[in-house]
Amino acid sequence: MAALATTAFALFLLCVSIFSSVSAKGGFTIDLIHRDSPRSPFYNPAETPSQRLENAFRRSFGRLSHFKPTTSSSVAQPNQAESTIINNRGEYLMELAIGTPPVPIKAIADTGSDLIWTQCKPCDDCYTQTDPLFDPSKSSTYKTVPCSSNQCTELKGRCSSEGSGSGSACQYEVNYGDQSYTIGDIAVDTLTLASTTGRNVSFPKTIIGCGHNNDGTFDKKGSGIVGLGGGDESLITQLGTSIDGKFSYCLIPFASEGDQTSKLNFGDKAVVSGSGVLSTPIVKDQTRKTFFFLTLEAISVDNTKIPFSSSSSGSGEGNIIIDSGTTLTILEQSFYSELEEAVDKVVGGERVSDPQIGIPLCYKVSLSQDLKVPNITVHFTGADVKLEQQNTFVRVSDDTVCFAFAPAQSLSIYGNLAQAGFLVGYDLKGKAVSFKPSDCTKF
């Protein structure tokens, strides 16, 4: 097996060049560059593939806390903008442009987050970033949302003359589970994305957060966050009718990526069709609109089918979150134990443990040796997704291969290693996620 690093979707780099704006009608496609790719500003040539995997696995386990409800005072109150994201060295950066004239910025992007925000001048207390801060005073299309407006109320903003930003502007505050935070003004401005056609797509009057007080574990190579979740303030929701509620991505396994890029598609370009397409319903949770919930019915290991039961979902529907920002597939402990036992019976190799990685099921192999890998099928409602070896096992060192699934106390997440090599489409109007086995290098 070739060494494989993660292809998470918590961050992505969109290569932007400023050309004339075009309409989004008809759809468009943008590039995704993995954080560990030589084309990424995060690339560290001194790191080995196993070190990159180790770091990504740690982020998967750390990310669990961002999906769990909490009563901590550090979390945004009901009248504040709310989002969840892993903030410690995410996987990809998204490069977009804000304002008129357009100012390129790089921001963390995530399907598990909603608010679009960037660090802004004046910055009372900001973390250090490589790129210049966005200066809203130099954008002719920038406008704060008035504190007294109905829009401020609808966005659950707050009115206060204290703290950062403008006292007359509607303000937001977002706090994260790792104690990172952002505080600033809710505003509207033109957001510009590039497409693979070499022409820009501009979206006027996009709701953004202009952060004047931001700190925590954010990386200096990024400036803020772009939310791609299901909430009202996310980029996907705001693009709404212009993309017909559709977006898709095709993630290239890192070992195959090199200078090639994965793709993110919008609108008509995001339609997943043809032979081999499998679709499953999105189950909406009105208390957690950000996340995309699917229903996992079972997982098969060769001819052994293991039914899935969830302690966190009484009805059984909406029992797993599909998240391209989590590397591993995380399953509730009791079910994972059954799955691990079934997999181990087929593999039958020499098990080893590596506490640094934190994955329970690993095997000792040589560079020339391959494991007896079972056929694994993930049974969602209406969609039996057959996984390839690259989706289920990863070589974490010269002599160790690990199962790309791990246990959690009471939460299940379908991670990006299981999604690599599939065109994954989201149809928010049709309330469905589709999977199509694909060669993502050819998109």
Distance CA 293, CA 321 (A): 4
User: If you ran DSSP here, which 8-state letter would residue 39 be given?
Assistant: T
Q: Identify whether 427 is a catalytic site residue.
A: no
Measured from the Cβ of residue 202, the count of other Cβ atoms closer than 10 Å reads: 18
Q: What is the DSSP string of 238-268?
A: HHHHHHTTEEEEEPPPHHHHTT--EEEEEGG
Helices vs. strands in the chain: H and E counts, helices first: 6, 28
The amino acid that residue 301 corresponds to is V
**Which residue is catalytic, options 31, 36, 185, 323?**
323
Structure tokens at 348: 């039958």
Distance CA 59, CA 344 (A): 25
**Backbone phi, psi, residue 181, to 5°:** -160, 165
Distance CA 282, CA 295 (A): 8
Task: Report helix, strand or coil for 434.
Answer: strand
Q: Report yes or no: 104 and 96 within 8 Å, Cβ to Cβ.
A: yes
Give the CA count within 13 Å in the CB-facing half-sphere of 132.
Answer: 7
User: If you ran DSSP here, which 8-state letter would residue 420 be given?
Assistant: T
Q: What is the DSSP string of 141-185?
A: T-EEPBTTSHHHHHTT-B--SSSSS-TTB-EEEEE-TTS-EEEEE
**Which residue is catalytic, options 110, 185, 244, 427?**
110
Q: Identify whether 323 is a catalytic site residue.
A: yes
Measured from the Cβ of residue 179, the count of other Cβ atoms closer than 10 Å reads: 12
- Per-residue buried b or exposed e for 126-162, using 16+ beta carbons within 10 Å of the residue's own CB: bbebebebbebeebebbebbbbeeeebeebbbbbeee
Which residues are identified as catalytic? 110, 323
